[in-house]
Structure 1
């Protein structure tokens, strides 16, 4: 598992978004980015986290930031999820979980008493210069949104 520290350069990536267009972190230079990692579209915790970021989106935009959600689900799943909950930000498909791993958000979890590898609910805040300003690994859906807003102040 990758261990990133605050102040490290954010690992660059290029992933397909819910609209089919590729999103590159390098293209977002000069803006702050809240990058959140979640296990699965349209599940209770993931919906709570996504809707929390949706409801705080104006506050996030006012702080010169955008939100990007990343999960291993594909583009079609992301499109349905985004439409169903009226999410104002892009969802990115990391089907081979390479980006999730690069950010340290892929690891061992316990599911129904079994150890499995998967997305560990997390988020990072990237500053205007592409450096990590906040890192929250293993965060609850509601705490993720609160902590991201605090980091953007």
Structure 2
């Protein structure tokens, strides 16, 4: 009988440790790993938004911003994002959606640059599909992170 109680106690401790490790991994992922690279994504997207929000930007201006600011900065962000290796399966799965979304976003920027350079309408039209895929993956990432945070009682803003 004593062996049964010890076995049950060990199982309970293992489940508690799993929950704790997911919580710790999620906390580290959000507050340490992502925190140190998010400024790169923000900077790249802000550079892009700044030019396209102007009423009278030229394709040459957009091409220059993509070439000299947006793409290099976003590539730096993406390369650092792919180096992040969450410990737990749950956080890894969410992270994979972020990587896919960022990959599609980078592909969209590059396709836009090529389309502008070559004045290729097909490439320019492919950008919308890539951006839609990126949004889908990013939304799934956010949904999973919020769900994990709620499940493990982490405050998430």
Task: Give yes or no for TM over 0.5.
Answer: no
Shorter chain as denominator, the TM-score bin is: under 0.3
Is the radius of gyration larger for structure 1 or structure 2?
2
TM-score normalised by length of structure 2: 0.27
TM-score normalised by length of structure 1: 0.27
Structure 1 or 2: more strand by fraction = 1
Structure 1 or 2: more helix by fraction = 2
